[in-house]
Chains A and B, each alone.
Chain A
Amino acid sequence: MADRTPVIVGIGLSDFPRAPHLDGVQHHVLAAQRAIADAGIDKSSIDGYVNAGGSGGGDMVDGAIAMAEYLGIDHRYLDGTMTGGSSFEFHVQHLASAIRTGLCDTALVTYGSNQLSRMGRALGTGGMHRGPSRIAGPMGYEAPYGNSLVGSYAMHARRHMHEYGTTSEQLAEIAVGVREFAALNPNAMYRDPITVDDVLASKMIADPLHMLDCCAITDGGGAFVMTTAERAKDLPQAPVYVLGAAAAMTHWNVCQQTDFTTCAGEKIAPIVFGQAGLTHDDVDLLMFYDSFTITCLILLESLGFVGKGEGGPFVAEGNLKRGGKWPMNTDGGGLSSCHPGMRGIFLIVEAVRQLRGQGGAAQVPDCEVAIAAGSGGWLSAIGAVLLGKEAP
């Protein structure tokens, strides 16, 4: 019987961090072309398509329906799930099931956004409600108060500090470690080394988060191809196995968060590790959504890599840095390399690169298992994917 274990066989990135020559749709296209070439498949063999939109054009421009048509994909499986930055971890969860059960054989996932070229760096603090003066739905309960994206994460950091004594210095260590990896990535947005003092001296955006606690705003796009282990036998790249995938949310709008020290990672960690039959010590690489330094800390704790409240001292010991116990965000992350708005796809692309041994100067030695963990919204929708070099 054919081995329908889901595997990733192709990855692609568009041009980044600054690509004024591309609009959002073109980022999707360029990443797709590169992923298809990397996979060594015929475009006509793609029978599943997945896309979270997000380039700012709206569903009718770059949503799953619009892009499936634009790309000319004759699909029998389509998914447009949009959970913000974690969409792509949700997509892997859905596709793993679809591929196992035969709903499709070979699926393409794409993302693209010209966030930087279109809007400048306003995403985090530009005011989420610029447009109509009346805001429909639950966001109307936040609209009159002038919060920012940074502010929502800052409220998590503040409560975490209150309950566990976490410090700004500890959070800064996360930004410093990710920047060390960015220095090794010629395409990264910010490559100059930084220190803890640099982070603390950078402008306060929303207390207690400084500018260097916040991710970059860039252009960029990514894509990957998922198929069965059976089909992968005929393809040029060594397959990367989907060992587990789980996703859940605790709230969407930040006004509905009830525990500002954690996230749905607590719920999905036992599921994803259970599926894979692995423990945290089996993991060689963390690809965590680093929208803000606090995001990484809460993912680290909620996914069970350390106990609750232990994250601050743990990161301060350098455990997430190059050569540390769990190196994190080897591509330079969203903090320093590439964050066009929804970073979740880049977590998967970089994890695959590392598991193939294509990590270049940032290659993690003997990288056999990686976790990609995305956070969408305001630590709202969390997805985690365990990827491995060897068949499960």
Chain B
Amino acid sequence: MKTSRRDFLKLGLAVSSALVPLPAIAQGAAPRVVVVGGGFAGASCARALHQAEPRIAVTLVEPNATFTACPFSNAVIAGLRELGAQQFTYERVAADGITLVRAAATGVDVAARSVSLADGARLAYDRLVLAPGIDIRWGALAGYDEAAAAQMPHAWRAGEQTLLLRRQLEAMDDGGLVVISAPANPFRCPPGPYERASLIAHYLKTKKPKSKLLVLDAKDAFSKQRLFQAAWAELYPGLLEWVPLSKGGAVTSVDVATRTLVTDFGRHQANVANIIPPQKAGRIADAAGVADRTGWCPIDPVTFESKLQPRIHVIGDAAIAGAMPKSAFAANSQAKTCAAAVATLLTGGTPSTPKLINTCYSLVAPDYGISVAGVYQPSPGGQLADVPGAGGVSPADAPRATRAAEAVLAEAWFRTITAEVFG
């Protein structure tokens, strides 16, 4: 690789500032921020904090050595991509000067301002950032527990579950019935179930064309609905059927032994069943007392500080972020906003009012992308609200060339964001 003069200067700068000794006093008193969770939200926040103020001692707590990303995991399920393309390590994050602790956080002592780890160790903090993503609400759907997920995968946290669903589809005979159960709001990645349905339909159309795909939905409306439905009518007629809540879509229980999904209107016996179950904030949020009765975490929209506990900030899927959806894009955007606010608070300043962006691309087919975008700001009511007149979905009447361009932009987005978070 050729190193340009500019790169060289940058490297030189980075090295020299790292070597300049801090005054002893500042060293002793460096404020400590602990970030729990090394996903899109947590890893972004740790890096942005360090960048904003290198003298803050940033510790990132994450039990896994490898992070497996959910965006584009639907393409893995459909056999269009390998799981390795979803996996990232924390080497570059550590190289920034962030202390990595490979452990799960198990508790928070709010009064003592410390986080406890699975091995009993404690980490003291001046400010704590919780970014644990989601946990499944096991048992909220009758019959669906951790053992059931080994037969009827959720694949809503990427990794072995993603591969299991893919293997089940590959093993299914042509002419089989695939059923997806989509949950009520709110949940991780609002367009995710419909992107998944699209790409599984693409797999069936090209590999097992006598098969059928049924989407049983606990809702009557979903993200980018008109665009998805128009594309389904064009690309997958007769193959993909969506059943809304009002037509009996809500799954009330599952029977693992017979792979049956039960609704108020009937029973569907599937050859492959994908249950996208009800969710809540990662369990450390409960342990820290920052989750409310909904299972998610109310926050201040300027600083992302918990409305329930002082000095604890919550970002990413775990947070109740008003109009912002639970997406990797939003998690990264919130992380940078939160990092700036935390750095300002730790140095005695007043955080300024932020503006945030979200964009979620979805693939309806490998060369057919659509998007939804939004711009957000704190509302007088203390929520993150849509900036009126901004955002929206891709045009309904766009030509196929635009859909192809958005599919290319979707992949570019994934490369860009994962490079910022892990690269």
Do A and B pair up? The answer is: no
B→A interface (CB under 8 Å) = none
A→B interface (CB under 8 Å) = none
